[in-house]
């Protein structure tokens, strides 16, 4: 069985978790656009104030920060600061041929913590709650990265 193949159960679990994370990050762009349309605000570029079919009567106030739009942007920024490291560390971790149960725990655990972090951030929970949901995901990335290093050094 090839390690990098969907016939490898560990790689298949990684592929599922990675795909979920990629879809989540991409969905944040769509959520940002939806929020901008709901609020009719949160535009970023001066050229966005030119009249169009979707914005026939632009107003300079549309360029001002809008908390509901900015909240979604902050969530996406957090994803972009974290998810790529999971994608890289998770892929490399599959090369260590870990036990399936551990790979499932780590990969699905990471995905669950990111979705829970999103829910906490989206609903305006305090930093302590968001941090408590972010920390396990960060520790998962650290664990996988250290395991890859140990395997690469033959330890």
Hey, what domains does the chain have and what are their CATH numbers? 9-152 (1.20.120.550)
What is the Cα–Cα distance from 136 to 132, expressed in whole angstroms?
A: 7
* pLDDT > 80? residue 149: yes
pTM for this one? 0.93
Query: Tens of pLDDT along 89-132?
Result: 999 999 999 999 999 999 999 999 999 999 999 999 999 999 99
């Amino acid at each position: 069985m090839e390690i990098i193949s969907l016939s490898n159960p560990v790689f298949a679990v990684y592929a599922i978790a990675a795909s979920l994370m990629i879809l989540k990050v991409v969905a944040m762009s769509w959520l940002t656009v939806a929020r901008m349309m709901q609020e009719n605000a949160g535009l970023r570029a001066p050229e966005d104030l030119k009249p169009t079919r979707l914005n026939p009567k632009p107003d300079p106030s549309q360029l001002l920060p809008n908390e509901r739009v900015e909240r979604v942007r902050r969530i996406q920024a957090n994803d972009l600061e974290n998810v790529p490291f999971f994608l890289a560390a998770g892929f490399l971790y599959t090369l260590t041929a870990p036990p399936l149960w551990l790979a499932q725990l780590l990969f699905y655990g990471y995905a669950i913590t990111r979705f829970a972090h999103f829910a906490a951030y989206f609903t305006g929970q305090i930093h302590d709650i968001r941090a408590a949901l972010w920390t396990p995901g960060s520790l998962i990335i650290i664990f996988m990265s250290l395991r890859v290093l140990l395997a690469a050094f033959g330890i």
